[in-house]
């Protein structure tokens, strides 16, 4: 009986540990919290705003259609944006919510295959 109980407790403990280590994620947001919205600068083309240690918002101004992807490489999270030109587009502000895992230490952003710096990195 003790062995069964030990196995159950071990399984429960390991399950709880994996819940805390989420995988990195990127999702487009239509609405952002007010504290984040107050930090968005209209003049910035590429901005990163940290919400906390696990979440940030990426703001990108583009005249094209943007497709985001993530790629992990060790402790580095690479944000890949494919920006496809579009005719008759007045520009759009894309807002993405980033969720980090416990291993993320560094961020890199790559737009159409080229590594680019953020204009502004901030937090509330």
Q: Which residue has the higher pLDDT, 56 or 87?
A: 56
Say if CB 47 and CB 40 are below 8 A apart: yes
Span 2-26, pLDDT tens digits: 656 555 655 555 555 544 457 899 9
pLDDT at residue number 34? 92
pLDDT at residue number 11? 57
Question: Pairing between strand 106-111 and 120-122?
Answer: unpaired
Q: Return mean pLDDT, the chain.
A: 85
- Mind giving me the DSSP string for the chain? -HHHHHHHHHHHHHHHHHHHSPPPEEEE-SS--HHHHTT--TT-SEEEEESSSSEEEEEEEESSEEEEEEEEETTEEEEEEEEE--TT---EEEEEEEE--TT--EEEEEETTEEE--SEEE--
The verdict on pTM exceeding 0.85 is no
The domain ranges of the chain are 23-122
pLDDT at residue number 14? 54
What percentage of residues in the chain have a pLDDT greater than 70?
Answer: 81
Q: Which residue has the higher pLDDT, 100 or 8?
A: 100
pLDDT at residue number 21? 57
Question: Pairing between strand 114-116 and 106-111?
Answer: antiparallel
């Amino acid at each position: 009986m003790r062995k069964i109980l030990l196995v159950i407790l071990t399984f429960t403990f390991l399950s709880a540990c994996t819940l805390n280590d989420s995988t990195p994620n990127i999702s487009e947001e239509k609405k952002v919290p007010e504290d984040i919205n107050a930090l968005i600068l209209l003049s910035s083309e590429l901005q990163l705003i940290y919400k906390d240690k696990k979440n940030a918002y990426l703001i990108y101004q583009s005249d094209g259609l943007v497709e985001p992807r993530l790629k992990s490489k060790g402790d580095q999270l690479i944000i890949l944006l494919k920006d496809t030109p579009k005719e008759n587009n007045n520009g759009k502000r894309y807002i993405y919510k980033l969720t980090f895992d416990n291993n993320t230490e560094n961020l890199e952003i790559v737009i159409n295959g080229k590594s680019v710096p953020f204009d502004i990195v901030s937090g509330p």
